[in-house]
Chain A
């Protein structure tokens, strides 16, 4: 099993490398905005004249004053989940439909490897790929901290909790994309599903404070269960982890069952 996971990851090293470095730089950039954004107050002319929808991209101003809640709000709620979600969709497609089209599934299934075994190997590789991204994001943040003005103290456990919850979020989106790809063999369906979940979750969570009409959809947004600011202030809620795992497990079960009854293309 290990060799398949390693080969699958190594075979996508350029994809992983480029996206991980991109995410790392993006995170460093957002973190670097702390000195500027932490000075914003409601009386600031920019804030006073800002369109209502744009306020969503700043979030609650009080969160911007302290670094842990700033990171939680700006990076782990508003900006990074959308970008990471698209990366997760790309990874999910690569490990399902693209792998099948390259003939990797047939080569593996010609061995004494069951279809369940194949799905688990490729899903494991997907999780490892996203973990690599999160490690790069974490390293990028730590590398940036000494260069940011102001008090940038953040407890290691807090940062790990934030990274962990966002990783679970990304894994869930990637799993949904992967599962649709495995179940149908259709790249377009898989990508559409993944993008739909990402954009829906992001839009509902970010814009619901200013758009009351979508407040009722918040429980269906996966980003709600990252709850980064709550994690930064009070810690991780176990129920949120259960939700991510539950969604992933349910989609994987349906996908594995469907995978057993369809033909493997070449």
Chain B
């Protein structure tokens, strides 16, 4: 295997336990160079715990993580950090520095070209003249993200980077991730919003309760199947097979996701009585994500 073909990161049965809680459960996957991988999951799905273990902030209870061919341990994690940029939603920056001063220090440290600095600042438009301690969380997050992309590190780890960003800045971030990947960087980004990251990701890994439940390639992302069906009726309706109910807050409005055969769905609809209105839409990744977190009581006909 050529050097450039070797995975940049390997997760081998990585488990993290906190007493009785399994925050990460036997996670196994690898990341190839140049990939943009989205780790998607709800709260406490294990995303941030995985990110922490990648950076060496915490140790796996079991299993190993390798970055650039080196096992990540708390003793040795720092050795590969020269090639890694990390940005989290709660990254602390030096409060006494202005944004510009901080970014120029990062730029000098990573020998990043001034042109790249100008491009990123023009794109994200953070406040640079004020001290970081006086900035809003959104502006601080922009500075954190710019610093992560400066100099184009080999691996960029972003933990819920969209949390504090306005919608326009989220678009900028997705574009920046895509550009970074095109220039050879590998990006790992965690998010609660699969549809958002799917636009820039070559791969989506969905997590639930610390385990990998889906590992979708780019092709699978673009070919995502299924329907969302919304019915308006006062009748008591039993859902078909392969349907999972979605809460609506209204007894008249019945909504469910459907992953079975479309013809069978249409047949089932044609046999219903007392339907006042109906809407059928394609399912998105967000819907699949929501479907993962539906409790068994809410799911009929599965």
* Per-residue interface assignment for chain B, residues 57 to 90, with 1 indicating a CB less than 8 Å from any chain A CB and 0 otherwise: 1110000000000000011011101101010101
The interface residues of chain A lying within 8 Å CB-to-CB of B94 are 7, 11
B74-A260 in contact (CB<8A): yes
Instruction: Bin chain A's interface residue count.
Output: 20 to 34
Chain A window 1-29, contacts with chain B (Cβ cutoff 8 Å), 1 for yes, 0 for no: 00000010011000000000000000000
Closest chain A CB from B145 CB (angstroms): 14
Minimal Cβ-Cβ distance residue in A for B58? A263
Residue from A103, A112, A263, A266 within 8 A of B79 (CB atoms): A112
Q: Are B91 and A264 in touch, CB under 8 angstroms?
A: no
Is B240 on the interface with A (CB-CB < 8 A)? no
Q: How far is it, in angstroms, between the C-alpha of A114 and the C-alpha of B88 when the chains are bound? A: 20
Q: A110: which B residues are within 8 A, CB to CB?
A: 55, 81, 84, 86, 91
Q: Which residues of A contact B59 (CB under 8 A)?
A: 261, 263
Tell me, rounded to whole Å, the shortest Cβ–Cβ distance linking B173 to chain A.
Answer: 18
A232-254 interface bits toward B, Cβ cutoff 8 Å, 1 = contact, 0 = none: 00000000000000000000000
A107 contact set on B, CB distance < 8 A? 91-93
CA A19 to CA B169, docked complex, whole Å:
43
Residues of B within 8 A of A104 (CB): 92
A114 to B52, CA, bound (A): 15
CB-based nearest B residue for A114: B78
Bound form: Cα–Cα A114–B84 in Å: 14
Residues of A at under 8 Å CB distance from B? 7, 10-11, 102-104, 106-107, 109-115, 117, 260-261, 263-264, 266
**Given A261-B59, A263-B52, A263-B59, 20 extra CB contacts under 8 A:** A7-B94, A103-B90, A104-B92, A107-B93, A109-B56, A109-B78, A109-B81, A110-B81, A110-B86, A111-B78, A112-B78, A112-B82, A113-B81, A114-B75, A117-B78, A260-B74, A260-B75, A261-B74, A263-B57, A266-B90
Q: List 12 A-B contacts (CB under 8 A).
A: A7-B94, A11-B94, A102-B92, A103-B92, A107-B91, A109-B57, A112-B81, A113-B81, A260-B74, A263-B52, A266-B57, A266-B90
